[in-house]
Structure 1
Amino acid sequence: MTHRPPTRFPLLLLLTLTALTGCPKPPTPTPEQNYSDVQFDVTVPPETPVNATLLLSGEDAAFKGSSGQGLELVYQGGNTFTVKARMPKNQLLVYTIRMTAPSEQMAIDLVGNSMPARRLEARENEENVSFNVERWGQPSSGIQPRTVFVVAVPATTPPDDDIYLAGGHELLGGWNPAGAKLYKAMNSSYAIELAFPPDTSLEYKVTRGSWEKVEKTAEGAEMANRTHKTGSGFQRVSLSVGGWADFFTEEPPEPVLTGKIEYLRDVTPTNTVLKKRDVIIWLPPDYDTNTGRRYPVLYMHDGQNLMDATTAPYKAEWNVDETAHELVGAGKVDALIIVGIYNTSDRGPEYTQVPDARYPEVDGANGGRADAYGQFIVKELKPMIDGKYRTKPEAEYTGLAGSSLGGLVTMYLGMKHPDTFTRLGVISPSVFWGNNDIVTKVEALSGKLPLRIWVDIGTEEGSSSQETVEDTRLLRDALKNKGWVLDSDLKYTEVEEGRHNEASWSARFGSVLEYLFPPPAP
């Protein structure tokens, strides 16, 4: 067999072709290979409104979205929003997140600073970006006191019902059961953000707008007041409602009314800024038998809390009827008529003489309605009472009393109308309101007025409200400086262990009556 050397032609041909054409080039990339599908998963704070519109925004066209305003995220349940979008690879993209509805807000940190813009450089064909938003708001310079309440409610809660916080502080409605209204938030919760002064001690409960629909435990038991002390920065308070009072069978308290009680229903002020209200009237024991006698009158605020447990918050009343009945019967107090003026959902505005910018939720554009409320009492209600009952209508026989903001408005209206009221029961007054405006008004008096004044404060009130011993002493001293004399026409009392509630006011109401309406000299 003849052997031939292997041919070199194929190799030579290959070398020749390579020299002519150069090295092989990679295939031209397709548009899909220049982009990556990126999924953004964003965890938002629990107080985020359930109807929030969230957008990712940036200068690159990839962040413009179909509207040109940004990529809209989609709510996925819980506290998560997502969006998936095609992003260019190997490019540094800068973007931010913001809320555009129900209000325009930015992502900020717990101190209040704007969250820095985020950066993205996509490299893989499928990428996932996850991040958290600490809170929403407007950037602020320095730490601002803010408290967010996030309330989880039971599944049995009617979806169309509103949820409220009701508490002693005026931002919580001054125990109005429809005090501070919450909005619907993420994850079937409700939320509200409020601005309390630092170190404010709060007592409050959750309601669905009335005391018949106040929160209970899951077993239907009564709950003690919730408490919280605010800080100087941002706080988030998360709480859960176990059940609602109207979902449990409970025997209502029996009305315990002592003496002769009458009502004026739906008394409607002529000033349309004021709401209609009921009025409760207590008549002295001999009113029906001693028909030739006329009586002094004490007008009192928060009338639903005075005599009837069925209309009082937490079913706790002042026991005004029992106390008056006992003291009048014993001859320790002059026989008198007591008129209780029910409050309304506008209690805060009606009981304050000036707006207070610290509490826009209470007064806002319609704050400081005490003058209108006073005109209603002086020009409409008092003539109605004087016309219907055998009163002594003169100012020297007419008194005014109330607690908390009711004490504040008593002091104010007493100075405003000394020709109508001369006996004032200023009980646990909210001196703090309007930066101690009531003290300023006393100091501005040209001289002493013909007023007999009771002023008191409990030593433990500051732990549950903003009414403090220190502020009340300022009011006392201002009155003294204008000529009132302690233990003569000014009685000042600091009640040991006294708190800011009906039980404490009930315990000392007898002393108030004995000072303001002593029995006539024999």
Structure 2
Amino acid sequence: MKIVVNQIPENTPPGAHLYLVGNFNRWQPGASAYRLQLQPDGTYEVKIPIMNRPVEFKVTRGTWESVEAAADGSDLPNRIIKLPSPEVVAVQVANWTDLVVRPPRKHTASPQVQVLDAAFEMPELGRTRRIWLYLPLNYATSNERYPVLYLHDGQNLFDAYYSFTEEWGVDETLDELAQTGGPQVIVVGIEHGGEERINELTPYENPEYGGGDGEKYLQFIVQDLKPYVDATFRTKPEAEHTGIGGSSLGGLISLYAAAHYPQVFGKALVMSPSLWFSDKIFSVAQKDFKNTRLVLLAGEQEGEEMVPQMRELYEQLLAQGFPAEHIWYQTRPDGDHSERFWRREFPEAFKWLYAKK
């Protein structure tokens, strides 16, 4: 099927490259195989595979930050091509997210949220990163110690001002749970590194997308960030009280972390994990981390491979003796690969993960 982009915004930078991102390429922007080719008549073309389900996609200039937007600058829903697939689909791009003049975003973080450090040193990777911190409602008025949850993609957790599309509302969720007797937990949010996100959140290399610095990223958390948090705040530092989690590539690295660092992380929130990135990730089933509490959650609208691969992982874990009662395996028929879906599912997943034994 051929996609033809026959109109782009006038403010498109000269020489910009256009790409398609969708459920046919695992929602990876900037994939060279889906770069549209400029034609003599000024249009752009690319062919995508025929699928046995509706095709969902967007046009980008190579990153999620430069994805197309609606004419008024608002976020654009996924484009959908229903079956039977036509031979040619014409597309008009009305705007670019990064070139839109928007009203100033509002801050939405609760008073319990702070920036722990705007430039926390990551010596293993030779760079710095902004780190977010959520402290429980009664932290300032008690002498209690608290479990800790380390979450990736920190800019999407607490404050819509910094989020890509929308934030997870982690702080609001935990504030509400605290008021109803739910678990109170310190949350540490690690912002992703932009262009370094794929490198940092993948423990293995992919021949098409690269990556593979995930072990160094985890060493940063284990050797630098966690010791600092434990020394500075009243934490319960033991593995049984320490979790790690994220979605997509963040789910992938969290699964790897749980399997390879069971002495550090006794809980893992694995949402919509990018298991496709490398078949090597299935080797975690051979690791001994059976005392870990593990959330495996994904949506059926995230592409053809997401749920089957997660099911395969689940069955391999059970076959190796991982206790079924230690895994919260969930699929959602309407779940798509979006911050909105993960925000919706976070409260129940979190409550199961940190439920009192």
**Aligned residue among 276, 301, 305 for 2:156:** 305
Matched letter for residue 341 of structure 1 = I
Q: Structure 1 217/323 Cα, relative in aligned 2: closer, same or farther at 3 Å?
A: closer
1:458 is matched with 299
Matched letter for residue 169 of structure 2 = N
2:38 is matched with 185
Q: Give 1:483 shift.
A: 2.0
Deviations 1:444-496 (A, max 9, x none): 33x45321111122233236xx422x21111111121222222x222212224
Q: What does 1:166-315 correspond to in 2, within 5 Å? A: 167=21, 174=28, 185-186=38-39, 201-207=55-61, 211=65, 214-218=67-71, 220=73, 222-227=75-80, 239-245=91-97, 249-263=101-115, 264-272=117-125, 275-290=127-142, 292-314=143-165
1:410 is matched with 254
Normalising to structure 2: TM-score of the pair? 0.84
Please tell me whether the aligned partners of residues 163 and 190 of structure 1 are also in contact (alpha carbons under 8 angstroms). no
1:338 is matched with 187
- SS of the residue aligned with 1:321? helix
Cα distance in 2, alignment partners of residues 420 and 220 from structure 1: 44
Q: Give 1:183 shift.
A: 8.3
Q: What does 1:56-455 correspond to in 2, within 5 Å? A: 152-159=7-14, 162-163=16-17, 165=19, 167=21, 174=28, 185-186=38-39, 201-207=55-61, 211=65, 214-218=67-71, 220=73, 222-227=75-80, 239-245=91-97, 249-263=101-115, 264-272=117-125, 275-290=127-142, 292-314=143-165, 316-333=166-183, 335-344=184-193, 345-357=195-207, 360=208, 362-363=209-210, 367-435=211-279, 437-442=280-285, 444-445=286-287, 447-455=288-296
Please tell me whether the aligned partners of residues 259 and 283 of structure 1 are also in contact (alpha carbons under 8 angstroms). no
Q: Structure 1 248/298 Cα, relative in aligned 2: closer, same or farther at 3 Å?
A: closer
Please tell me whether the aligned partners of residues 271 and 372 of structure 1 are also in contact (alpha carbons under 8 angstroms). yes
1:508 and 2:345 aligned: yes
Deviations 1:110-161 (A, max 9, x none): xxxxxxxxxxxxxxxxxxxxxxxxxxxxxxxxxxxx988757422333437x
**Aligned residue among 463, 467, 492 for 2:306:** 467
Cα distance in 2, alignment partners of residues 240 and 188 from structure 1: 15
Instruction: Report the structure, 1 or 2, having the larger helix content.
Output: 2
Matched letter for residue 313 of structure 1 = F
Please tell me whether the aligned partners of residues 70 and 95 of structure 2 are also in contact (alpha carbons under 8 angstroms). yes
Q: Structure 1 251/424 Cα, relative in aligned 2: closer, same or farther at 3 Å?
A: same
Q: Give 1:322 shift.
A: 0.8
Cα distance in 2, alignment partners of residues 267 and 504 from structure 1: 30
Q: Give 1:182 shift.
A: 5.6
Deviations 1:293-339 (A, max 9, x none): 2211000111111111122222x111111111111221122x11011
Q: Structure 1 423/220 Cα, relative in aligned 2: closer, same or farther at 3 Å?
A: closer
Q: Structure 1 339/243 Cα, relative in aligned 2: closer, same or farther at 3 Å?
A: same
Matched letter for residue 300 of structure 1 = L
Instruction: Report the structure, 1 or 2, having the larger strand content.
Output: 1
- SS of the residue aligned with 2:335? coil
Structure scoring higher RCO (CA < 8 A, sep ≥ 6) equals 2
- SS of the residue aligned with 1:268? strand
Cα distance in 1, alignment partners of residues 22 and 214 from structure 2: 19
Q: Give 1:194 shift.
A: 8.9
Cα distance in 2, alignment partners of residues 459 and 348 from structure 1: 23
Cα distance in 2, alignment partners of residues 482 and 191 from structure 1: 50
Matched letter for residue 452 of structure 1 = R
Please tell me whether the aligned partners of residues 200 and 213 of structure 2 are also in contact (alpha carbons under 8 angstroms). yes
Cα distance in 2, alignment partners of residues 229 and 385 from structure 1: 49
Deviations 1:138-197 (A, max 9, x none): xxxxxxxx988757422333437x45547466967746xx77796883459586879879
Q: Structure 1 490/222 Cα, relative in aligned 2: closer, same or farther at 3 Å?
A: closer
- SS of the residue aligned with 1:391? coil
Unpaired segments ≥5 residues, structure 2: none
Q: Give 1:430 shift.
A: 2.0
Q: Give 1:215 shift.
A: 3.0
Cα distance in 2, alignment partners of residues 204 and 480 from structure 1: 37
The alignment yields a C-alpha RMSD, in angstroms, of: 3.4
Number of residue pairs aligned between Structure 1 and Structure 2: 351
1:55 is matched with none
Q: Give 1:277 shift.
A: 2.3
Unpaired segments ≥5 residues, structure 1: 1-145
Q: What does 1:469-508 correspond to in 2, within 5 Å? A: 470-486=308-324, 488-508=325-345
Q: Give 1:219 shift.
A: 5.1
Matched letter for residue 304 of structure 1 = Q
Larger Rg: 1
Normalising to structure 1: TM-score of the pair? 0.59
Cα distance in 2, alignment partners of residues 312 and 185 from structure 1: 32
- SS of the residue aligned with 1:461? coil
Q: Structure 1 183/254 Cα, relative in aligned 2: closer, same or farther at 3 Å?
A: same
